[in-house]
Amino acid sequence: MKENKNNARNPGLNSAEFEEICDILGKEPTIFELSVFAVIWKERYFFKILNKWLKKLPVEGENVITQPEKEKAGIIKINDELAIVSKIASRNYFYKTDPYRCASVLTGSVIRNILSNCARPSAILSSLCFGDKVNEETIDNLKNVVNGISDYCSKTGVPVAGGEFYSDRYYSANPIVNVMAVGIARKDHTKTLQHPGMGNKVYIAGAFTAPESYYRSLSDEKVTEKQKGSSKPVLITADPNMGHLLIEAVDEVIVQDILTGIQDVGITGIAGSVVALLSESKNGMKINLEKVPLKDKKMDPLQIILSVSQERMVMVIKNGKEKNVEEIFEKWNINYAQIGTITANNYLEIFYNNEQITNLPVDRLVAGSSVLNIKEGKKPDYINELAGFSIDDIPEPEDLIETAHRIIRLPNIISGKLITERLDNQADNDSLIDESSIDASQISIKGSRMAIAMTVDCNARYVFSNPVVGAQIAVAEAVRNIICSGGIPLAATICLNFGDPDDPEVFRYIIKTIEGIGTACRKFGIPVSSSNISSCNQTSIDGKTEKILPAPVIGMTGILREKNNMMTHAFKSKGSMIYLIGKSENDIASSQYLINYHHIQKSPPPVFDLEKEYEIQMVVKDLIRYSLIRSAHDVSEGGLFIALAESGFPKGLGFDITIPAEIRRDAFLFGESQGRVMVTVSSSYETEFIDFMLKTNVPFSTLGHVTKGDCRIDDISFGSIDDIMKDFDSTFENLMNK
C-alpha cells in the first residue's frame, strides 16, 4: 500500500485522503479510482472549507429557483414564465502564456454553464485585472484576452455587453480574468434539472474527447494539463464554431422537453459531469467509456473520463426520446454517443470494453473528503497602521486643472473604454439596448417590454484596506449601477479571487469578504444565486512571492419591467440642473487620486455607511420611477469630476458647478466617498424634484447646471468637454498603440 500512497500524491492526494478512500472502497484503490476521487474532491475542497461562512450568505428569496451548490448557475424568476440565469467564473492560469486561448476557453465554459440550466445565453461581461505597468506586454495581453472573449462570442452569437478593467502592480505576474454569462430560460424548463430518472439514457455531445488535457496538478490548484509521456504543458483549446452548434442544438432539445438532466463537461471531465447530474438524486449511472467519441483512438479509460476537452455536454434523455435527440444532433452536425444509463442504486459503474473498471459511491464523491486543513485567520499588521491616516497630512494640489487632466488619463479611469472599444460586437446586437451605457448594460427580452440590466463590480484596493467594508462597497456599487440604469436588482453571482488560503492572512481576507458580501446583500434584499472561488493566485514581485490584491467580483442582474423607462448616465440637454444625492465627505482614502497623484498605496477604504447607502438608492429608484430626473450616474472611481466628464461625453455637453466651502477641493472632485449619485433635472420638473427630496431623509445639494460644452468649476474653465475627451481618447489610443 505504500507504493499506492506515493502514487496518490500524483493526483494531489495526501496520505490521510488516501486512507479515507481505502475505507470508502473497502480495498486498496487503483490509480484510476484515486484519480477520479482526487479530481472531484479537490475541485470542491475550498468550498467545503469555507462552507461554514458561505452558508451564511443569503440564498433564499421569493424569486430564487436554485441556490448555490445546487446548480452551477443561479436561476432567478422574472415572472411566471421566464427566469434569469447568471454565472461568473475565472480561470487565472496561463494568461501570460496564451491569453487569447485562455480567455476563449473561459468564455465557452460560462456559456455552457448557462446551457446547463436550460437557458439560452444572452450576454457576456468581463472583469479584468492586470499589472500597473501599462506597457507593450500588458496591453498585448489585454488585447488578446478581450479579443479571445469577443471572438468566441461573435462566432457563437452571444453579444458582449461590457466589462471593467483594473490595473495594479499586484496583478503583474498573475492577471485575473473573470467572465460573467447571463441567459434567459423558460421557468418550466428549469424543473427538469437534476432528476435524471431510472432507465433514462445518457448522451455526450459536442467536440471529440482529446487526450491532451486530462492530467491536472491538483495539489497547487493550477491547471497544468500535460500530454501523456510529455512534460510540456498543453493548454486547452476552445472551438467556438462547435460552441455555436451546441447552443443551437441544446436550445432545440430544451424546446422539445425531452431532457431530464444536462451538465457541461468542465475541468473535472466526464467524471465530474456525471457525478453532478446525480448529486441531488438517489440514482446512479452505468457508463461505457469506449462509446465516447474520441479524437485519438489510443486513449485509455483514465484519459477519457478526465479529459477537459472543451465544447462537450452530457445529457440525460427521457426514455423513448432517443431518436428525437439523435436527429437534433445530426441536424447540427454534432458528434454524439449514448454512453450510459441511469440506474436505481447510488453508484457510478464505469465500464470499458464490457469490463467493469470500478464501482464508486456517488454520495461519497459528492460529499468530498473529510480531511480538511482549516487554519485560523490572521489580521495583517498593516491594517492597524491605516487608522493613522489623515487627509490633513496630504497637501492639496496647487493646480486643480492639471490634476484633473492627470486623473482622466489614468488606465483605471478609462477602463470601460479599454474593454468596450476592443469588442467586435457582431453577435446578436439587436438585443443590446445601449452599448454606451456605463453604470449597467441592458439587453432586451425578445417578445416582451422587459429588459435585463447587468453589471460587474469590484475595487480591490477597497477590499485590501478593509475586506468587510470593501466587499460591502462592491455589492453596493453593483446595486447602485443597476438602479441608476432604471432596473430593480434581483440577484448577485460572486467570484472570489484570492491568494493561497493556507496563508492565514489570505484566509482571513476570504472569510471577512464573505461576511461583508452577506451583510450588504441582506440589507438590499438580494440573494446570492451562485458563487465561485479562484484561489492560489500569487504574483512574484522583485523576486518575492506576494499574493494578489483580493478581488471579490460581484456580478449583478436586475430587471427593467418597461425597457422604455431605461435611465442613462448621459447629460441630455443644456440648462438641465445638476444635483448630488448623498453627501460629499472630506475624504480621499483609497482613491485613484491618492494612489496615483500622491503615490500613497495604503489607506483606509473610502467613507461608507450601508444604511445611508440603502436609503439613497431607494430614493434614486423612486426618482426614476416617477420620471423626475433625466440622467443618473453614480460617483465611484475617480470621484465627482470623472462622473461629470463621463456624463458629458456622449452628447458633448459640459458643466458649471460650485465647490462648497466646507470641503477640500481635491476631496470634492476626486474623493471616492460612497453613497453618492449625480442626477440631472429639467427646469420643468425642478420644483417637483425638490419637493420630493425634502420629504425624504436623504441629503441632496445643487451642483450647478449643464452647459453647451464648457467645463467650469468655481467659475474657472477646466477646458471644453471636447478637450477633456481628447485627453481621455488620446490616452486610450496611446495605450492601444504600444
Residues 20 and 146 both lie in one domain: no
Whether 176 and 209 map to the same domain: the answer is: no
To the nearest whole number, what is the mean pLDDT of the chain?
89
Contact 592, 672 (CB under 8 A): yes
Residue 232's pLDDT band (cuts 50, 70, 90): very low
Is 449 within a domain? Answer: yes
Question: What pLDDT does residue 738 have?
Answer: 60
Contact 219, 298 (CB under 8 A): no
Q: Summarize the confidence of residues 605-620 as an average pLDDT.
A: 98
Confidence band of 49 (pLDDT split at 50, 70, 90) = confident
Report pLDDT for 735. 66
pTM for this model (two decimals): 0.93
Residues 457 and 543 in one domain: yes
Based on the fold, state whether residues 610 and 531 are members of the same structural domain. yes
pLDDT bucket at 192, cuts 50 / 70 / 90: low
pLDDT of residue 224: 36
Domain-embedded: residue 53:
no
Residue 627 lies in a domain: yes
pLDDT computed for residue 221 by the predictor: 41
* pLDDT, greater one: 542 or 724: 724
Claim to verify: residue 459 and residue 565 sit in the same structural domain: yes
Q: Residue 215's domain spans which residues?
A: 199-343
Looking at the domain assignment, is residue 350 inside a domain?
A: no
Does 171 share its domain with 307? no
**CA 239 from chain center: how many Å?**
22
H or E, element range at 541 = strand 538-541
Digit-coded pLDDT (tens) for 366-424: 998 888 877 788 998 888 889 899 999 999 999 999 999 999 999 888 766 556 655 54
**Least confident among 165-179, 186-200, 710-724:** 186-200
CA atoms lying within 13 Å on the CB side of residue 257: 5
Final residue in a domain of this structure, among 343, 365, 394 = 343
Q: Sign (positive/negative) of CA torsion 291, 297, 298, 299? A: negative
Determine the pLDDT at residue 65.
84
User: pLDDT tens digits for 275-331?
Assistant: 999 988 889 999 999 999 999 999 999 999 999 999 999 999 999 999 999 999 999
* Residues 206 and 84 placed together within one structural domain of the fold: no
Q: Is residue 254 part of a domain?
A: yes
Q: What is the average per-residue pLDDT within 45-52?
A: 85
Statement to judge: residues 163 and 207 lie in one domain:
no
Residue 358 counted as domain residue: no
Residue 113: CATH number of its domain = 3.30.1330.10
Q: Which of 193-197, 392-396, 623-627 has the lowest mean pLDDT?
A: 193-197
Residues 154 and 17 in one domain: no
CATH number where 277 lies: 3.90.650.10
pLDDT tens for residues 487-539?
999 999 999 999 888 889 999 999 999 999 999 999 999 999 988 998 888 76
What's the total number of domains in the chain?
A: 3
Position 226 confidence tier, pLDDT thresholds 50, 70, 90: very low
- Of residues 475 and 564, more confidence is placed in 475
- Rounded Cα gap, residues 50 and 55, in angstroms: 8
What whole-number distance in Å separates Cα of residue 313 and Cα of residue 204?
A: 6
Q: Which residues pair with 539 in a beta bridge?
A: 546
At 546 the three-state DSSP class reads strand
CA distance 218 to 173: 21
- For residues 31 and 100, state if they share a domain: no
pLDDT above 70: residue 215:
no
- How many contiguous H segments (helices) and E segments (strands) does the chain have? 24, 26
Q: Where are the beta strands (DSSP E) in 674-731?
A: 677-681, 700-707, 710-713, 716-720
Q: Is 545 exposed, middle or buried (0-12, 13-18, 19+ CB in 10 A)?
A: exposed
pLDDT of residue 446: 87
Residues 316 and 444 in one domain: no
Instruction: Please list the alpha-helical segments (H only) found in 386-503.
Output: 400-408, 415-420, 460-465, 467-484
Boundary (domain end) residue, out of 343, 369, 401: 343
Residue 194 included in any domain: no
Confidence of residue 75 (pLDDT cuts 50, 70, 90): confident
| pLDDT given at position 362 | 96
Q: With 50 as the cut, is the pLDDT of residue 9 above it?
A: no
pLDDT in tens, 567-590: 999 999 999 999 999 999 999 999
Task: Identify which of 32, 16, 57 has the alpha carbon closest to the alpha carbon of residue 494.
Answer: 57
pLDDT tens per residue across span 85-137:
999 999 776 666 789 999 999 999 999 999 998 999 999 999 999 887 767 77
Is 637 part of any domain? Answer: yes
pLDDT over threshold 70, residue 548: yes
Do residues 275 and 422 both lie within one domain?
Answer: no
Q: From its phi and psi, is residue 501 left (phi > 0), alpha (psi between -120 and 50) or beta? A: alpha
Report the percentage of the chain scoring pLDDT > 90: 69
